[in-house]
Amino acid sequence: MLIIPAIDIKDGKCVRLTRGDFSQKKIYLDNPLDMAVIWRKQNAKMLHIVDLDAALTGEMVNFEKIREIVNNIDIPVQVGGGIRSIDAVKSYLDIGVGRVVIGSAAVTNPSLVAELLKIYSPSQIVVGIDAENGVPRIKGWLESTHLKDFELALQMKEMGIERVIYTDISRDGMMQGFGYETTKNFAEKAGMKITASGGVTNSDDMKKLNKLTPYGVDSVIIGKALYECNFPCQELWYNFEESMSLDHNFSTARKK
């Protein structure tokens, strides 16, 4: 089970939300690159970055912040949030982003996904399905759709999408455990590679999540639980690194 730390960027800062509510925002670091360096030092193999401003506006507000992370970290980075055009996808892939996450546009403009798959590999294009009670929500989780979560997944699968990032919105940021049954039901019906997201809180959740590997769940994005040190050894690492300055010269992590 690949564990992927999440870095959400709002107004240029590293933040976490509760259930996607922008009014319940907690700032963890002023510079998202600092957070990326910390996760890499803690042996992360991939990072998941979301431009929250772009999710609301469709504009690549934090593009330069994301470029800075990609240029200084030697592991794959996947990016989501407001990616609604071929040009936006190209811009991210051109700076070295490993794969982009299409969210709202998969619902509002599914032909975009079809066009992208004519240009790029399915390994570079994934679809994010953020659902509440089995219904996908889009545009920063502010609007509901007319589809069921698995129906959207099957549409994307028919187009050639191989992986879905599935978020149970009702659990996201709540620190109350992830939606095991919800995720299992979705994975069973979708029959795709699944990256789970939303609500994974501790090691017990990870053990439960491992039971879903036969259904295609092979990775998980974790946000607030990592930031709040809910896993063994994290507190030790953080206490040790509090006295260290992040000088961005993490030599083993630089590409250039």
Q: What is the pLDDT of residue 26?
A: 83
Q: Tens digits of per-residue pLDDT, 156-202?
A: 999 999 999 999 886 654 556 688 899 999 999 999 999 999 888 88
Its pTM stands at 0.86
Superfamily of domain 2-246: Aldolase class I (3.20.20.70)
Candidate from 23-32, 202-211, 212-221 with smallest mean pLDDT: 23-32
**Neighbour-count burial of 14, counting CB atoms closer than 10 A to its CB (0-12 exposed, 13-18 middle, 19+ buried):** buried
Place of tokens 């191989």: 162
Q: What are phi and psi of 68, to 5 degrees?
A: -60, -40
Distance CA 60, CA 91 (A): 10
Distance CA 198, CA 205 (A): 11
Helix or strand holding residue 137 (H, E): strand 135-138
Q: Tens digits of per-residue pLDDT, 69-105?
A: 999 999 999 999 989 999 999 999 999 999 999 998 9
Catalytic amino acids? 8, 130
Domain extents for the chain? Answer: 2-246
Report residue 232's pLDDT band, with 50, 70 and 90 as the boundaries.
confident
Which SS3 state, helix, strand or coil, does residue 215 take? helix
